[in-house]
Every structure is written in C-alpha cells, then in structure tokens.
Amino acid sequence: MLPSKIRIALAATSLAVAGFAVALGPLAANAEPAPAAASSSLATATFASGCFWCAESDFEKVDGVVSVVSGYTGGQTKNPTYEQVGNGSTGHTEAIEIKFDPAKISYPSLVDYFFHHTDVVDGGGQFCDRGSQYRPAIFTHGDDQKKAAIEGVAALDKSGRFKQPVAVEIADATTFTAAEDYHQDYYKKNPIRYKFYRTGCGRDARLKALWGDDAAIH
C-alpha cells in the first residue's frame, strides 16, 4: 500500500482535472538538490518529524540554514528506497539533513524550532502518517548536540505543557541516505499536491492544537 502522503497527494490529481493540471507539472520533473555552500564553518543537524516534504519546507525558511536534504536514517538496510522505508521493514525513519551556519543560528535554537514543527508526544508516527518510519527523532552529531537535545526534551517535559511525556527519540546520527530526486524540494516542484497533502494530513491543525499561539504554521 502506498504511504499516506503519496495517496493524499495523488488525490489532488483528480481535482486538478477541474483546472489545475497545468500548474501541477510532472511529478518526477526533478533536479539534483543544490549542494550546500562549501564552508568548513557549517555544521550538520539531522531531524525526523514525519513527512520529509514538510520538514524540508519548514527548515528551509530558517535564517542560517544553508541546505536541507530529505532522506532516510536510523535503520539497518543499506541504501534503502522510498518503497522499502514506507513499508516499515528497514528500521529507518524519514528525516532531513541540514547544513547550517552556527554563527547565524545555534543548534539549541534549531532543536526548539524542531519541537514547534513536530507532534512531540506522538512516538507512533506523525499526523496522518503512522508507523516507525514516521517516528519523531533527533539524530545527534557529537556530544554537544546530544547534550542540547537531552536538555531540550527534559525542559519540555518539566514545563508541564503536555499531559503526555515527550516521545521524541534521541540517537546518535548514523548513515543518512538521500531520498530519490523527486522528493527533494517537493513543495516547490508540486505546490498544489504538497498543500493538498499537508492540509489533508492535518499537520498544521495539530500543531496549532499542541502549541496554541506558539504554533509554527506554514
């Protein structure tokens, strides 16, 4: 069975017949994701918050973020495909790998931004996408990032904001496999399908319910 986001996004195609077909463009009109600017000062962050189309869209809006790549991490299968990850058999979760400039944004700030774009109390998936392949997670690069992630989760739990405990996994970063080309910048290449999916999946509605006036809605 196709993952939820593909089934919801494809449903937009039937609506496109009413007049949006030209605007949609081909699903697989892809280009290689632009490489991050070569700079020894850039750092890497890896987050999973459900659909990587949405996570990529959200983090590319952050000042100090140089590049965002959608992909898969946290599993065992080498070079997994979207179909393999989607059926939940590889142990991976959809994730994004970020290159950022620490002089412009700190890692703890990125963690906080991640929290506000994630259903932090749902460890069984995110929004309409269910299963471990959509579990929320912070994959840390080094001891400083791990410390910041642990402290961030602890502070959120201690705040008492949510009745349930924070269910975000924290794990050491391992191999990150970039997703297929057509997933990169999906929200730019297929804006109508993307918006149809994001709304249909209830992502922003749930974030609003969780975070209230602090919700980060895009």
- Indicate if 51 belongs to the active site: yes
The catalytic residue among 51, 54, 128, 201 is 51
CA-closest candidate to residue 168, choices 135, 204, 140, 217: 135
Lookup: tokens for 60: 């590319």
The pair of structure tokens assigned to 101 is 């400039």
Cα separation of 69 and 172, whole Å?
18
CA angle 60, 101, 203 (to 5 degrees): 25
Q: What is the CA radius of gyration of the chain?
A: 17
Rounded Cα distance between 85 and 168, Å, is 19
* Active site (catalytic) residues: 51
